[in-house]
Amino acid sequence: MVRRVICIIVILAILPLLTVWTVQAGDEDTSHWYTIVDEDTERVLLETCHVVVTGDEFVDERNYRYRVSRVEGYTGWAEFIGTVDMETQAMAFQAAMSLRLGFCRIGLPLASTRAPRGRLVAIYHTHSDESYIPTSGSSSVSPHGDVYDVGSVISASLKNSVGLTSVHSWESHLPHDGSAYARSRRTAVSLLKKNPDAILDLHRDAAPLSAYATTVMGKPGAKVMIVLGRQNPNLKANEQFAFALKNYADKEFPGFVRGIFYGDATFNQDLSPRALLFEMGSHENSKEAAERVMVNFINSIPAVLYGVTPAGRTAEGEAVRHARREGGVAASTIISIILLVLIGGAVYLLLNEKSFSGVMARLRQFKEVELKEFADIVKKPKPPKNEE
């Protein structure tokens, strides 16, 4: 009996440690960043606070895909495995979204720059304390770090630019440990009950300033990295969404997307086929730098979901609408001609017959005499051709 009690106590003591270790495998190490290096060229591909393990992958800015083959300390060595065809993947994603939301796209006014009415996206923050040292003097601020402010700017930008509603959760999931994703999962489930078209977990990375630094109209900016959990059943769907975003952003905002990292976790992305994690700069960037990039990059969301941007519809969508508009103009022109002929004929008859009853008598005569004779001529068989 005593031995059984001791075993139960030991198991209860070990279980929490196992849970933390399991989640931590795909979590972040904020005390040091990892470096992924091309094993052939020794070129640095990525610096990130995400724990890097064998099997993790990274798609760089050029769409070159690498897989980590071994890890030594804080260095992961990766092999080149191919180039991602972003354009094809983006087209496949947008085709699927067109089928899913076709009624919304068709229902929009031709010249609209607004998102479909009633659609929304959801935003939350698993690591609630993440902040930017140049802005707050610390990389960690409790209970709400700078990432919430960036999330608010993004939410306002979506609303103001294209009229897309976003539900931004200020729920805190502290402490910043291996169980943070278990706590934020409850928030994600709650947000998904509102039926958003996408759910975004916004973070900031920990890496050298040079890894994320860029410029926006001559001012400092912070690049974005998209993170996918490679241990979830929705990976292919999430991946296609990520590819569509990167493909659009690379054309409209070149240099803003640092790449796509595949970590050994789920990051709660198993909850939705359109769930992504964004690293908005590093702890060494300023909050303002992250905001400058995100207010531009985040417009990729309504662009790939609905074909709507602040400057108007995407070029591809506009071409389709232009063709439809031309067809509509042609049809309306034919109808207008027919109506003009009918109105002109009615006016002519009224002037000649002097009264409405006279017009009706003339129409009856036309039906019983002229129209009948015309029908007989049409039905009359043609004489056979003479054979030579």
Q: Which residue has the higher pLDDT, 186 or 8?
A: 186
Q: Is the pLDDT of residue 43 over 80?
A: yes
Q: How confident is the model at residue 102 (pLDDT cuts 50, 70, 90)?
A: low
Q: Which of 29, 125, 112, 111 is nearest to 76 (CA)?
A: 29
Q: At 106, list the tokens.
A: 């068709």
Proportion of the chain above pLDDT 70, given as a percent = 69
pLDDT at 310: 82
- The pLDDT value recorded for residue 332 is 46
Burial (CB count <10 Å: 0-12, 13-18, 19+), residue 202:
buried
Taking only the tens place, the pLDDT of each residue in 7-37 is 444 334 433 333 333 334 445 555 689 999 9
Would you report the helix, strand and coil content of the chain in percent, each value rounded to 5? 50, 20, 30
Residue pair 259/86 in contact (Cβ under 8 Å)? The answer is no
Nearest to 150 by CA among 299, 309, 293: 293
Dist CA 98 CA 197 (whole Å): 13
Domain ranges of the chain: 22-81, 85-313, 319-366
User: 251-270 pLDDT, tens per residue?
Assistant: 999 999 999 999 999 999 99
- Going by pLDDT thresholds of 50, 70 and 90, the confidence category of residue 222 is very high
pLDDT at 327: 47
pLDDT of 315: 41
pLDDT of residue 108: 46
**Going by DSSP bridges, is the β-strand pair 224-229/257-263 parallel, antiparallel, or unpaired?**
parallel
Per CATH, the number for 85-313 is 3.40.630.40
Is the pLDDT score of 174 beyond 50? yes
Mean pLDDT of the chain: 82
Q: Are 257 and 223 in contact (CB under 8 A)?
A: yes
d(CA 134, CA 153): 18
Pairing of strands 213-216, 219-222: antiparallel
Give the pLDDT score at 8: 43
The H or E element that residue 203 is part of is strand 199-205
pLDDT at 343: 56
Q: Map tokens 């729920």 to a residue.
A: 171
Sign of the torsion formed by the C-alpha atoms of 139, 144, 147 and 150? negative
Model pLDDT, residue 369: 61
Q: Calculate what percentage of the chain has a pLDDT beyond 90.
A: 64
Q: Is the pLDDT of residue 201 over 50?
A: yes
Which of the four pLDDT bands, split at 50, 70 and 90, describes residue 331? very low
CA distance 306 to 105: 7
Mean pLDDT for 94-106 is 72
Q: Inform me whether the pLDDT recorded for 320 exceeds 60.
A: no
pLDDT tens digit string along 116-165?
A: 999 999 999 999 999 999 999 999 999 999 999 999 999 999 999 999 99
Which pLDDT score is estimated for 113?
A: 82
To which H or E segment does residue 234 belong? none
Give the residue-averaged pLDDT of 362-373: 63
Distance (Å) of CA 67 to CA 6, 28, 55, 260, 307: 45, 19, 6, 12, 33
